[in-house]
Chains A and B, each alone.
Chain A
């Protein structure tokens, strides 16, 4: 098992190197190059020349790339053109919000998705089954930002049941420890702050969770239907095990294998791609930052955030692969 993990980790290196080359090339290829990107569109030629000299942009490309790589390894991605603060610092402040949101969305998607998918498969052909199939098709077809707007309009603006923007009420003067607002509230025993932060997660979390929900329902259903027809289930039934034992030990256990993978992959996607939902709810996580950076043409932030998020995505995928190896011994052998 250890060798399996080490081998996987080693295989990450070329991918990460390739990624860094791509993003380096990306910044170089932008109209005006990195100097313009950092100084803004109205930079004078002298300022650009000074910047180029200062940051070694007059050096040969491979020297520049190695420098970029050296700084990237130290998590130094320069400063945001908009706020002037280090990109890494901005990222670290915003990531906890995105993680909280992802957790909420995934708990929602798993909590609803697995039971629903399982029931749909158990009652194969019933109205519940058809409804879940249609629902899961719709869930993937609805543009997520439109759903987010609808939820916000209905439950935040019209009905006023839940907050529709931000991560916490401004008037709440909460103590910050980890920047995970819910966790902070719990740690400092500021219950109202924790509760308030939690209610801010509900609407964006549901909007964000619909796509994983739809996929989880579909995979669970298909997988349970597959497993039910397996020989070992027939054997288990034939040897007279009780129905509930067969279901618990043989059907659900095996059926959840592909579901676990899906959950992992979707978590990786959500952590890196909540740009749409977060910007509708002005959530203030990583996604909103990318949205703002697009409009401000803040390339330092875009480059840094995309590189870090891609690394996060790759690492989560790696975790999924490793956990797959743990869950399914057959994978390790190959």
Chain B
């Protein structure tokens, strides 16, 4: 145990330890199945899932759904200082500060925002998992080295970390993705390590060892799959934070500079200058971010309840 964020860490470990415990009376039903059953009965989970699915579908079919070209400055001629055209025939949400259709930009923007959120979380999960497996499976000095490294990363507040990385890598969408992913790596690594350690002494691991099964097979075939549930929960919740954090980095001028790709965070920060002229320019992208973040949070929280043996009835 080290000094930094001990409590935060303990909480991660507690969550990890609960993973894969088989609750009383549910021995015969697989965790996935019973979790899924409980999710379907939970209105909060349904709400979250619906929100997430709707936005994913919109993002997937964005070019087909957008009524207009999100880059065409159709209404540019109508813009005067202190006036940006509002909703009108063919422009249900009006135009932005450059005369482009706001609705189309929001729809196409969902692609970029969700992509950044999903890719950065995936990257965080993959790297975090690799480190977590390394630490959790080998233990000993490998564990110590990996965990010290993780502690150091955890000791830098995540926004400052993301800022440093964005500044270092220059301004493009991949540096944005990496910056967000790096802040998530330590959480996933710690979570998985703790979760694997909790499995280490369990009967099935002892049995496999007694049978003389290779360590790699025990780790990847038995321990890892049983340790995944806290990771899944955290990944769902992290999708929300990743999207919000991407918006924050855009606001700090560290976002994607490519203007051909509309993105909610960038739209939101650009709109700040026109807030007194047309607050809708900021409100709509902000609403999109809030609703998507809410969707992932609701889904994540209900997943946590569904997968947590403590909440099983």
A residues lining the B interface (CB < 8 Å): 8-9, 11-12, 14-15, 18-19, 22-23, 26, 29-31, 137-138, 140-146, 149, 153, 157, 261, 264-265, 268-269, 272-273, 275-276, 279, 290-291, 294-295, 297, 299, 302, 306, 309-310, 313-314, 317-318, 320-321, 324, 334
A-B contact count (CB 8 A): 144
Instruction: Evaluate contact between A137 and B152: CB separation under 8 angstroms.
Output: no
Which residue of the partner chain B has the closest CB to A321?
B6
Which residue of the partner chain A has the closest CB to B252?
A294
Q: How far is the CA of A26 from the CA of B164 in the complex (A)?
A: 8
Residue among B8, B157, B268 with the most chain A CB within 10 A? B157
Write out, one digit per residue, whether chain B residues 1-13 have a CB within 8 A of any chain A CB (1) or not (0).
Answer: 1111111100000
30 contacts between A and B (CB under 8 A): A8-B3, A15-B3, A15-B148, A15-B152, A18-B152, A30-B168, A138-B294, A141-B244, A143-B244, A143-B248, A144-B248, A146-B268, A146-B282, A261-B7, A264-B7, A265-B8, A269-B157, A272-B160, A273-B158, A273-B160, A275-B252, A279-B252, A299-B167, A306-B163, A313-B156, A314-B4, A317-B5, A317-B155, A321-B5, A324-B6
Shortest CB–CB separation between residue A135 and chain B, in angstroms? 12
| Known A140-B293, A261-B7, A317-B3; 20 more pairs at CB < 8 Å | A15-B4, A15-B151, A18-B152, A137-B294, A137-B298, A138-B290, A141-B240, A141-B244, A142-B290, A143-B268, A146-B282, A149-B282, A264-B7, A273-B157, A273-B158, A275-B252, A276-B159, A310-B157, A318-B3, A321-B6
Please judge, given known A-B contacts A31-B170, A149-B272, A153-B276, whether A290 and B163 are in contact too, CB under 8 Å.
Answer: yes
Instruction: Evaluate contact between A145 and B297: CB separation under 8 angstroms.
Output: no
Instruction: Evaluate contact between B276 and A157: CB separation under 8 angstroms.
Output: yes
Cross-interface CB contact of A272 among B1, B157, B253, B275, cutoff 8 Å: B157
Chain A residues with Cβ under 8 A from B3's Cβ? Answer: 8-9, 11-12, 15, 314, 317-318, 321
Instruction: Evaluate contact between B293 and A302: CB separation under 8 angstroms.
Output: no
Q: How far is the CA of A268 from the CA of B4 in the complex (A)?
A: 12
Q: How far is the CA of A291 from the CA of B249 in the complex (A)?
A: 11
Please judge, given known A-B contacts A265-B7, A276-B252, A310-B157, whether A143 and B247 are in contact too, CB under 8 Å.
Answer: yes
Which residue of the partner chain B has the closest CB to A295?
B253
Chain A residues with Cβ under 8 A from B220's Cβ? Answer: none
Instruction: Evaluate contact between A18 and B149: CB separation under 8 angstroms.
Output: yes
Q: Does B286 contact A (CB under 8 A)?
A: yes
Please judge, given known A-B contacts A26-B164, A318-B4, whether A15 and B293 are in contact too, CB under 8 Å.
Answer: no
Please judge, given known A-B contacts A15-B3, A306-B164, A318-B3, whether A22 and B152 are in contact too, CB under 8 Å.
Answer: yes
Q: How far is the CA of A279 from the CA of B6 in the complex (A)?
A: 31
Chain A residues with Cβ under 8 A from B156's Cβ? Answer: 19, 22, 306, 310, 313
Chain B residues with Cβ under 8 A from A18's Cβ? Answer: 148-149, 151-152
Which residue of the partner chain B has the closest CB to A31?
B170
Please judge, given known A-B contacts A290-B163, A302-B167, whether A141 and B4 are in contact too, CB under 8 Å.
Answer: no
Instruction: Evaluate contact between A324 and B7: CB separation under 8 angstroms.
Output: yes
B residues lining the A interface (CB < 8 Å): 1-8, 148-149, 151-152, 155-160, 163-164, 167-168, 170, 240, 244, 247-248, 251-254, 265, 268-269, 272, 275-276, 279, 282, 286, 289-290, 293-294, 297-298
Which residue of the partner chain B has the closest CB to A265?
B8
Secondary structure at the A interface, as helix, strand, loop or mixed, is helix
Residue among B1, B3, B156, B163 with the most chain A CB within 10 A? B3
Chain A residues with Cβ under 8 A from B155's Cβ? Answer: 15, 19, 310, 313-314, 317
Question: Which 6 A-B residue pairings sit nearest by Cβ, starting from the closest?
Answer: A18-B152, A141-B293, A11-B3, A8-B3, A11-B2, A321-B6
Which residue of the partner chain B has the closest CB to A14?
B148
Q: How far is the CA of A26 from the CA of B161 in the complex (A)?
A: 11
Which residue of the partner chain A has the closest CB to B272?
A149
Shortest CB–CB separation between residue B186 and chain A, in angstroms? 13
Instruction: Evaluate contact between A146 and B286: CB separation under 8 angstroms.
Output: yes
Instruction: Evaluate contact between B4 and A12: CB separation under 8 angstroms.
Output: yes
Shortest CB–CB separation between residue A330 and chain B, in angstroms? 11
Chain A residues with Cβ under 8 A from B275's Cβ? Answer: 149, 153
Which residue of the partner chain B has the closest CB to A12?
B3
Q: How far is the CA of A308 from the CA of B3 in the complex (A)?
A: 18
Cross-interface CB contact of A143 among B5, B6, B158, B286, cutoff 8 Å: B286
Chain A residues with Cβ under 8 A from B293's Cβ? Answer: 140-141
Instruction: Evaluate contact between A15 and B157: CB separation under 8 angstroms.
Output: no
Cross-interface CB contact of A145 among B160, B251, B253, B294, cutoff 8 Å: B251
Q: How far is the CA of A51 from the CA of B6 in the complex (A)?
A: 42
Residue among B5, B151, B269 with the most chain A CB within 10 A? B5
Q: How far is the CA of A22 from the CA of B275 in the complex (A)?
A: 39
Q: How far is the CA of A310 from the CA of B156 in the complex (A)?
A: 5
Q: How far is the CA of A118 from the CA of B4 in the complex (A)?
A: 29
Chain A residues with Cβ under 8 A from B167's Cβ? Answer: 30, 294, 297, 299, 302
Shortest CB–CB separation between residue A72 and chain B, in angstroms? 15
Instruction: Evaluate contact between B297 and A137: CB separation under 8 angstroms.
Output: yes
